[in-house]
């Protein structure tokens, strides 16, 4: 694990995909890393395509958005229905 990310919300951005909104609790996140999280009783692992905001953990829990790779429009629709409740995402290099 290179970082721990707390997922507070999820947004669909037309033409871009899905963005996880939350903050980095510890570590540092880079484009090309992977984030793993649980949704609807299954574990999902997706590549991080973009990072908006602060990349390093900080005491203020500054919001950071992570654009994640999705495999289809259907997956975007399914993940977009999810309402995270401070879900923990583990960020890794692979």
Task: Look at residue 90 and tell me whether its pLDDT is greater than 80.
Answer: yes
- The architecture in CATH of the region 3-92 reads Beta Barrel (2.40)
> Which residues make Cβ contacts (< 8 Å) with residue 33, sequence separation at least 6?
2, 3, 47, 48, 91, 92, 93
Task: Look at residue 66 and tell me whether its pLDDT is greater than 80.
Answer: yes
- Tell me the pLDDT tens digit for each residue of 16-55: 889 999 999 999 999 999 999 999 889 999 999 999 986 6
Largest Cα span, the chain: 37
Cα dist from 48 to 24, 52, 59, 76, 94, whole Å: 14, 11, 23, 14, 11
Taking the CB of residue 44, how many other CB atoms lie within 10 A of it?
A: 17
pLDDT of residue 69: 95
pLDDT of residue 36: 98
Q: What is the pTM of this model?
A: 0.90
In the chain, pLDDT over 70 holds for what percent of residues? 97
User: Which sequence spans correspond to the domains of the chain?
Assistant: 3-92
Residues in the chain: 94
């Amino acid at each position: 694990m290179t970082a721990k990310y707390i997922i507070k919300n999820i947004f669909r951005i037309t033409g871009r995909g899905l963005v996880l909104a939350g903050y980095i609790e510890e570590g540092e996140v880079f484009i090309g890393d992977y984030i793993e999280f649980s949704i609807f009783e299954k574990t999902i692992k997706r590549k991080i395509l973009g990072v908006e905001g602060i990349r390093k953990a900080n005491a203020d829990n500054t919001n950071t958005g992570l654009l994640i790779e999705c495999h289809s429009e259907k997956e975007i629709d399914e993940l977009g229905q999810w309402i995270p409740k401070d879900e923990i995402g583990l960020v890794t290099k692979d």
